Chains A and B, each alone.
Chain A
Amino acid sequence: MSNIIEKVADCLVRAGSTFREDQKEAYRKAIADEKIESSCWVMKQVLDNALVAEKNRSPLCDDTGIPHLFLEVGKHQSVTGELLEEIKEGVRQGLRQLPGRPMAIKGDDYARIDQSGGLNEDSGALDASPILIKPVEEDVIRLTVLMLGGGPAIRGITQRVFHKHSVDVVIEEIVNRAKPAVSQLGCSPCTLAIGIGRSQFEATSLMMEAMAKGNFGVQSDFEKHITIKVNDANVGPLGLGGKHSVLATFAKIGPQRASGVRIVALRPCCCFEPRRACVEL
């Protein structure tokens, strides 16, 4: 196995099995602050689970997720077809090592839609999503692997907001969309990932970047405001009530269009997400 393949495979396993320190600390704070016993019990279970998963390098959740890749490239670096092939192979090896849930659907376009072709039993057969590439100032090639589960994908929303020249209007609409999404998610406490851009593609790309870069311990006023307002709904962990439906909000606001419309991508990430890890290649 080449050095890059090995690094990518290891990165994927870490993404699927490890809580970052800021994520653990967010749970510790929420557990200490939560008054509802059953909600507290849920969050302790989630944190205990993370410690066991990290120790065993085993999946945090049986829905191990679809690999999504975010590649940062410094201006003196180059991305070759060979590098992309090695990343692809690293993903395949990582999925086998984790192991990922065998979720690749077999067959032609129709069979993949209605799932009539069955599942591929090889965990490594699961294709990653298209790679998102971003130029950066640092002289690096850095890959972030994100493992995106199905529950948040079902409840995610990408849609326009008529902003009426008011940030409050945009925040209110985000909160109105987030409250039912968090309630329906099931696997909470969640983290809200938000991207605001000029098109559906751009907003979703920004949301991906927010998931790749967000930090539970570093929250902007915009992010804090949304977290507080959504937590007012009192959904709580696993819907059992309490102050901690949302642990944090990760938002990325991009360039905006000269118009009355903002495109907002919103994903209620589950209690393990954003499952991510990064590696310099």
Chain B
Amino acid sequence: MNKIIELTTPFSEEVISQLKVGNVVSITGDIYCGRDAVLPRICKELEAGTWTQRGIDLQGGVIFHTAVSPAGVGPTSSNKLEIEGSFEVLSSKGAIKMHLGKGAIKPETVKMLAGNNAVFAIIPPVTALLESQTLERECVAWPELGMEALYRIKVKNYQAIIAAAKGESIYE
């Protein structure tokens, strides 16, 4: 295994542009968590130009496709309609740099990510390990969605593998 690349959020354009498919990265810092229920809501506000009113800065950030419950966190399939459908708006209008989940995504999504200098990374569903590396958690929007609300969590050394970058996919 090649050397693990240490990354701290938020990511700069330069850091993301150096990532390649197959790189194993270790992520430290604040990341956002959301899945099917909340991602379309964020996209809607980004497209309407009302997202800024929330005071949540997504620039250079990570969206982890997970619920946040007392049981912990763990990736859901990123190729679900509402989740993969959020990649483009979150990348282009929200300046999200890393979509973090699991499963193969479509070739057109891989291409779109490259066009926005963003990447898709997969993280194994290792909830106990992730729980030991999660330092803080806070619900930041739509609390009525419960575990499917938008959360910000502070993490240390979450390991993931780059699955789509520069127009290439690990699944090809």
Chain A residues with CB under 8 Å of chain B are: 17, 37-38, 40-42, 45-46, 48-50, 52-53, 56, 58-64, 98-102, 118-119, 121, 123, 151, 186-187, 238-240, 270-272
Contacts and interface: CB of A to CB of B under 8 A. Distances in A.
Given A41-B24, A101-B69, A186-B102, A62 B125 contact: yes
Contacts of B72: 58-59, 62
Given A45-B129, A49-B124, A239-B103, A121 B1 contact: no
Given A49-B128, A58-B131, A187-B124, 4 more contacts: A59-B72, A98-B71, A101-B71, A186-B103
Given A62-B66, A99-B71, A123-B70, A37 B128 contact: no
A62 B73 contact: yes
B128 A53 contact: yes
Given A49-B129, A238-B122, A240-B170, A37 B1 contact: yes
Interface residues of B, number: 31
A38 B125 CA distance: 15
Contacts of B22: 38
B132 A41 contact: no
A103 B110 CA distance: 33
Contacts, number: 100
Contact of B170 (A38, A53, A270): A38
Interface in B59-108: 66-67, 69-74, 77, 102-104
Contacts of A50: 128
A19 B127 CA distance: 14
A52 to B, nearest CB: 4
A99 B69 CA distance: 9
Contacts of A63: 71, 74, 125
A60 B128 contact: yes
A238 B70 contact: no
B170 to A, nearest CB: 6
Contacts of B69: 62, 101-102
A102 B70 contact: yes
B161 interface: yes
Contact of B126 (A49, A100, A123): A49
Contact of B127 (A37, A40, A59, A239): A59
B128 A45 contact: no
A52 B24 CA distance: 21
A35 to B, nearest CB: 12
Nearest to B103: A186
B24 A56 contact: no
Given A99-B70, A101-B71, A239-B104, A52 B128 contact: yes
Contacts of A238: 102, 122, 124
13 contacts: A38-B22, A38-B24, A40-B1, A48-B126, A58-B128, A61-B74, A62-B69, A63-B125, A64-B71, A101-B71, A119-B146, A239-B104, A272-B125
Contacts of B159: 45
B71 A62 contact: yes
Interface in B1-56: 1-2, 22, 24
B77 A186 contact: yes
A63 B171 CA distance: 25
A49 B158 CA distance: 12
A58 B74 CA distance: 13
A46 B71 contact: no
Interface in B104-146: 104, 122, 124-129, 131-132, 146
Contacts of A38: 22, 24, 161, 170
Contacts of B2: 37
